[in-house]
Structure 1
Amino acid sequence: MKRLFCFIFLFLYFLTISAQQRILDSLQAIVNDKSIQDRDKIMPMSKIAGLAMGDTIRSMKLGKKSVALARLQQDPSYAVYAYSNLGLFYVLRGDVKRTYEIIDSCLWYINISKDVYANATAYNRIGVMKLQMDDKEGIADIFTSIHIFKNTPYKGQGISANNNKWEGLTSGYYLLCSHYAQDIENVDKYSKLTLEAAFKSKNLNLISSGYSIRGIRFLTEYQLVKRNNLLDSAQYYLEKALLVSEKRPGYIRDISYLNILSNLVGVYEGKYEAEKNNDYLKKMTECVEKAKIIAKRNHDVEFRINYYKLLISVEMSKEDYRSAIQLTEEIIDEVSKQDKLNRYKYELYYLLSSLYQKTGNQNIAIENLKKAFTYYQKYFDEKYVKVGQQQQVKYKLAEKEREIEIRKKQNVWYIAFACVLFILLILVFFVFRFRVKYLKNKKEEANLLAKLKEEEAKFLEVEKENAELQIRIKEEEAHRLQKEVLSRTNQIVYKNEMLKNLTDTIKNDPNFNTFLLERMIKEEERLDKNFDDFVNVLNEIHPEFYNRLQEKTKQKLTSLDLKYCVYIFMKMPTKEMADLLHVELKTVRMNKYRLKQKLGLKKEDSLEEFIQNII
């Protein structure tokens, strides 16, 4: 019974480590390849460390190196994987303090890792570490691992691309079977789940494990109730496990294979005791021969112990106690060379005592029994020393966690204070900004009002200017009309004079030529038209002409004076003026002279030049 559960736990430990010996070279090639990034070497390095556990120094060196590389990565899931793998090495060495430190580091990285499958795998390994140290809290970590694997959809990205959901579940359920070893109902439940998950993983190593744990479930119940039908079920599943293992030799780890063979021998022993059928002895012998093959290449002490227990069990079934004693003494000699291993030494000396007792050598049996109790005492002391160390380490870790929690609370208060201070600073800033903006707005408003007043003043000034301009326009219009009236008056005066002259001419000259009259009329019409056109153009181009003449003169100009001014501005010759006005040249010169005096011109000043430049 003790042998059975020992094998269960050994198998559990190695279940999560790849058993394919043939991939060691390919993994080592990855680690040695300088073109591959360090990040991609972490998992292969850890796997090699697991496969090479027989070489403790190499395994520990690789495990530590993988942790060192993982801590340099930004993705914390690499550290989760590397730390959980390294912890397994320390727990095998019995280093309680270092194991719990590794667990603490691993949990810290789990808290910041987003890779749920790396976290779930790590919880599984933490559970194994704690259970190996008889810390029952490990079972909670196993349940946590199972919960994560079951309830998170598998995406296979990042580091999780190398992990399989069903592998994790197989391992978790297998560990629960070990924990509930004497609880048949739970063992039955979890062994079924182990086998189901193993089939979904499509991993032969795990499928073999699933069959194996299912067979152990029935073998366990048989040990309790001794019903032969349970041995049939145990035999069915264990032989299935053996068949799967032998399909691909070299891909199933030796310790797993030895576990199956040992439990099958247990089944055959039970059947031989019940039926006394020598076929079962032959089958036990076949199992021993298969075990011998793998024993030749395995030198691990614990593997050797379990291998010898298998051999001793078969010899005891044959009732060949002397051979059993010889084998027991051989393994005791091997174990005696090793430090510690007190539990195995106790079991082996206790077994040797019982064998000597069966052969009737009571004195030797008692002597070996005393040795067994001596080692049991050492084992007991060692165990409780470890328990003490475990409690001490857990206490220190708890104290450390409490300190961290206190610091976190302090940090929360500091952060809260900083937030309040920050908010106050923001409020002060906004108040100050509002005040500055308010004053700025007030200033801008005052400037705007001043500007509006200034604009209003400018507007009023413009309005005033517009009003003055309108008045001026009206005045200019009045002057223009006045000029036009004056021009028309001059023209009328001229016409009247002309008509009077014509009348006098006709009365005094009965023979007046009508042709000459028509010619004079046409000439007058032409002159009237030219004069009207010129007056219009002059008024349009130079509306200030008459005003400036009046401004320059010392006396008011008559309409005739203005007419002379227009003729002079038109650069009309004196003779043409005389003809147009029907006066003599002397009269025109006299009028020009008088006009020059009225304008205040000196004798040497030119009247024509003055009038031409007046505009």
Structure 2
Amino acid sequence: MKSSLFKSLFCSFLCLFVSNVFSQSVLTDSLNTAIKKSTTDPKEKSRLLTRLSEVYRLNKDDRMATITGKESVAFALKNENYEEAVKAWTVLTNIYAITQQFSAMKASSDSALIMAREHHQPISMAYAWYGKALLYKALSNADEVVKYCQLALKALGNVDDPYLLSKIYYQLYAVNSGWNNVAKVNLYARKASENAWKAMDYNALSNAYTALSVAYEYNYAASKEKNDLDSILFYLNKAEVLYKQYPGKVADHTYAIGCINMASYYLKYFPESDPSAKKNGIRYANKARAVLKDGLRNQQIIASSLGILSEYARQEGDLVSMERYLLGAYEVMKTEKDPSFYTWINVAQALADMYEKKGAYPKALGFQKLVTEYNSKSFNKEQAMNAQKLEIQYDTEKKNNEMLVLKERESSRRLQSVLYGCVAVALLIGLVFLFRSYHFKLRYSVQLEKQLKLEKQESDMRIMLEKEERARLKAEQRLMETEQQQLKKEVMANVLQIDHKNQMLHHIKTQLNDGDSINMHKILRSESMLDLNFDQAKLQIQQVHPDFFQLLTERAQQKLTPLDLKLCACLHLNMDTRQIAQLMHVEAKSVRMSRYRIKQKLGLSKDDDLNVFIQQLGKNQTGAKAI
């Protein structure tokens, strides 16, 4: 029972698909038949050829669209039907833009504009400007697209051509959609639909309905009102009705895009718990995939439909179906001649995430590597594409400038006849002004010379002031360095004395704690003598030997302790062992042991005299500074 039901549904769908393909084939066949009739008027034949080229383009048959478009141009030129030639060139511009043949696209656009300007027909100029808009759309220059669409509207003036108007307004809608200009998106989408209905261009009308659904999506994002959400589905349903009501008049590709949008809206705006929305979303995703099964250049739409189905499978927790859909999308994208790496990246990333969730880490890693590879290829492709676009844009701007120059030259030629009549008067006036100009130039040169001289003086003064400022800053820097060095010298000179005072106070404290008698007069007299010696030592160290301790540290083979440095300073002051012992409050024997230890650290032999070495160290320093 289930099998027969499946078969009946499959057969009914197949009939629907075949009927649509057949109807589109009938349209192209009828156009070809009318073109081949000997009784067909040449002007009408040119129009039919252009229309046939457009039909081939809508059906993604780029080769036949190009061949027919060129044939239309040649036939129109042969019969001096220049308006139709401009229209055919505009169709070719669109075809070359889609197939990314930028040089051919520019050539077609330029030919249409040149022809239109030569014959001054409003319709021709409007189509030529529209062709320029298509050119700049392919070059991703939105500002220029708007500019040339406005020129096309201005060229039309009061001429009622709803077919062209619908296309112009659709381009303006697309640009403002990219700019998120909600008001203009609504305006131009509505105007595009109104003119497409007048022109009975049902494919353009289907696109306009899709544009209106996008406009209401913008409205819903701002208002969150259910009426706007209902309007999204309302216009997408109208596009579907149009496809069924006028078989062959709406391209399968256009209808499939509407189905993908419908499936996306059900997935995006309806909760997962809504079975009806889920059913409709799956149904429209399958419709998009089925209607393009045997079409040309439809891999992205098919992959998108499989991606939507995989998302529904994910919501249901059916990872097996999700994997099947995503792998199917991946295989579909592999068949694309000029792949869209953006879609490949999305599919590969979804597969990597899915396999990671399933714990199949080798597969997840493999697809993640593919994501990286596709990102790199996408970047390289985009760079190459941008280089071509920039080159074409440069050539286009150059050509536009040349055309502007030619136009100005033509205007100049028309003015020559008038100018010749004024030559005599101009010469007379010129002589008067020549005489005045001579005196003016003379005064100007003198004034300029004075100004240059003043500027030179000002420059010299500025240089001199800058030099003086640098010298002042340098002097201040040296003064600060000198003051800093002096402070360092004073610090080094005070360290020894402070250390001695601390030890002396500690010694007195120890004697007081032990109950020993203290001769304070003797201590004060001794300290006064030592203070006098320290004052002299400080002066000597500051003025003569500021780097004494640094030289000792550099010469030492082992690290000198603060006590070692203190002992060396005392030796440098020519203090004997008794004085040093008294100063440090130690036994003379300890001073001798310290002297022996310092000799070892300085790398001196037994025969070397430590006193002589230290005194010589100070003299060497003094001599170095004197030099």
Taking the TM superposition and a 5 Å limit, the aligned residue runs for 1:234-249 are 234-249=232-247
| Counterpart Cα distance in 2 of 1:175 and 1:330 | 34
Q: What amino acid is aligned across from residue 189 of structure 2 in structure 1?
A: S
Counterparts of 1:8-407 in structure 2, within 5 Å, are 21-36=25-40, 38-53=42-57, 54-136=60-142, 137-149=144-156, 151-154=157-160, 165-181=161-177, 182-220=180-218, 222=220, 230-273=228-271, 276-298=273-295, 300-301=296-297, 303-319=298-314, 320-341=318-339, 342-406=341-405
- Distance in 2, matches of 1:180 and 1:362, equals 43
- d(CA) in 2 for partners of 1:414 and 1:146? 30
Aligned positions, number: 392
* Identity fraction in percent: 18
Do 2:256 and 2:289's aligned partners in 1 also have CA atoms closer than 8 Å?
A: no
- 3-state SS of the aligned residue for 2:249? coil
Question: C-alpha separation between the residues in 1 aligned to 2:121 and 2:389?
Answer: 29
Paired residue secondary structure (1:241): helix
Once residues 45 and 117 of structure 1 are traced to their aligned partners in structure 2, the CA distance between those partners, rounded to angstroms, is 18
Q: Which residue of 2 aligns with 1:531?
A: none
2: CA distance, partners of 1:50 / 1:363:
48
**Cα distance change, pair 227–352 in 1 and its aligned pair in 2 (3 A):** farther
| Within-5 A mapping of 1:453-468 | none
* Cα displacement (A) at 1:309: 0.9
SS in 2 for 1:318: helix
State the SS of the aligned residue for 2:348: helix
CA deviations 1:236-287 (Å, max 9, x no partner) are 222232223222333221112112211111221134326x110112212332
CA distance in 2, matches of 1:169, 1:76: 20
Are the structure 2 counterparts of residues 292 and 394 from structure 1 closer, same or farther at C-alpha, using a change threshold of 3 Å? closer
Calculate the aligned-residue CA RMSD, in Å: 3.2
Contact in 1 for aligned 2:93/2:134 (Cα 8 Å): no
Cα distance, 1:213 vs structure 2? 1.8
Q: Does structure 1 retain, via aligned residues, the 8 Å contact 2:219–2:228?
A: yes
Deviation at 1:362, TM superposition (A): 4.7
Could you tell me how far 1:222 is from its partner in structure 2?
A: 4.8
Would the alpha carbon gap of residues 380 and 416 (structure 1) be closer, same or farther in structure 2, given more than 3 Å must change? same
CA distance 1:419–1:211, change in 2 (3 Å): closer
* Distance 1:145-1:372 versus aligned 2 partners, 3 A rule: farther
Q: Distance in 2 between matches of 1:331 and 1:284?
A: 17
Q: How far 1:86 moved relative to its partner?
A: 1.0
C-alpha change, 1:215 and 1:77, in structure 2 (3 Å) is same
1:63-117 deviation line (CA, Å, top 9, x unaligned) = 2222222333434212211111111221122122221222111211222344433
Higher relative contact order (CA 8 A, sep 6+): 1
The offset of 1:385, in angstroms, is 2.3
Q: What amino acid is aligned across from residue 304 of structure 1 in structure 2?
A: Q
**For residue 370 of structure 2, what is the amino acid of its counterpart?**
K
CA distance in 1, matches of 2:413, 2:126: 34
* Distance in structure 2 (CA, Å) of the matches to 1:241 and 1:273: 24
Q: 2:56·2:64 contact (CA, 8 Å) conserved in 1? A: yes
Structure (1 or 2) with the larger CA radius of gyration: 1
TM-score by length of 1: 0.57
In structure 1, runs of 5+ residues without a counterpart are: 1-18, 155-164, 425-615
Amino acid at match of 1:130: Y
Q: Unpaired segments of 5 or more residues in structure 2?
A: 1-22, 424-627
CA distance change for structure 1 residues 184 and 247 in 2, over 3 Å: closer, same or farther?
A: same
Alpha-carbon distance in 1 for matches of 2:263, 2:405: 57
Q: Encode CA deviations 1:536-573: one digit per residue, 9 max, x unaligned.
A: xxxxxxxxxxxxxxxxxxxxxxxxxxxxxxxxxxxxxx
Tell whether the 8 Å contact from 1:96 to 1:386 is kept in structure 2 after alignment.
Answer: no
SS in 2 for 1:273: coil
Contact kept, 8 Å, 1:131 with 1:139, in 2: the verdict is: no
**Amino acid paired to 2:33:** A
For 1:390, give the aligned amino acid: K
Equivalent AA in structure 1 for residue 310 of structure 2: E
- CA deviations on 1:415-448 (whole Å, 9 max, x unpaired) are 6667777999xxxxxxxxxxxxxxxxxxxxxxxx
Q: Which amino acid aligns with 1:382?
A: K
Which deviations, in whole Å up to 9, do the C-alpha atoms of 1:472-523 show, x marking residues without a partner?
Answer: xxxxxxxxxxxxxxxxxxxxxxxxxxxxxxxxxxxxxxxxxxxxxxxxxxxx
**Deviation by residue 1:33-69 (Cα, 9 ceiling, x = unmatched):** 3443554322222322232243333222222222222
- Taking structure 2 as the reference length, the TM-score comes to 0.56
118-127 vs 379-388, greater mean Cα deviation: 118-127
Tell me whether 197-206 or 258-267 shows the greater mean CA deviation: 197-206
Rounded to whole Å, the distance in 2 between the matches of 1:416 and 1:147 is: 27
